[in-house]
Amino acid sequence: MSNHPILTIIFYGISSILDAFDGYAARKFNQGTKFGAVLDMVTDRCATSSLIVYLAVIYPTFTVIWQLLISLDLASHYIHMYAMLSVGSTSHKNVDQSQSKLLSLYYTNKKVLFVVCALNELFYIAIYLYYYNFIWVGLIMGVLSAPIWLFKQIANVIQLKSASLILARMDVEEHNKKLIVVEEFKKD
């Protein structure tokens, strides 16, 4: 990444395009699986985290911010994925409006999902390019993608909260069931 910024962007772009294509192909050919959904989410997180880690190297003043962004991204997606699978969903993208209108829009509208994901990645790429003297390109891309990047961070917070509540409710229900069994056992 430090020696070949153009190649880095080309390979990062190819990776992103293939990521969008593999999900489309899995749905089109009815080959979506839980493993595929988890693998897709994990590889997305790895790619974004790798780029953000490198941003921490070239912009060390903002290291704490980069660390918080990685933590939010990983935690919100992992907890969301775990919550969705725990309630029996076949995909983390099966979000209804009762969970969150914003998350439902984000995950169920493929155009919204694509644009938000693409511009979120573009924001990080812009910051990377800016450092490597692609100042105007980086600045323009960064300014244009910043509002969607901010939307994505807000969605991550909502996703984290919503998924945490799902898991907490499941824990309460499980605890209450155990209490009922204990009470019935005491009666006998």
Measured distance CA(38)–CA(57) in Å, rounded: 29
Helix (H, G, I), strand (E, B) or coil at 101: helix
Contact 120, 148 (CB under 8 A): yes
Determine the angle formed by the axes of helices 135-187 and 110-131, rounding to 10 degrees: 130
Query: Both tokens of residue 3?
Result: 């020696």
Contact 158, 102 (CB under 8 A): yes
Contact 49, 74 (CB under 8 A): yes
Q: Which of 19, 22, 40, 44 is catalytic?
A: 44
Q: Is 19 a catalytic residue?
A: no
> Which residues are tagged catalytic?
44
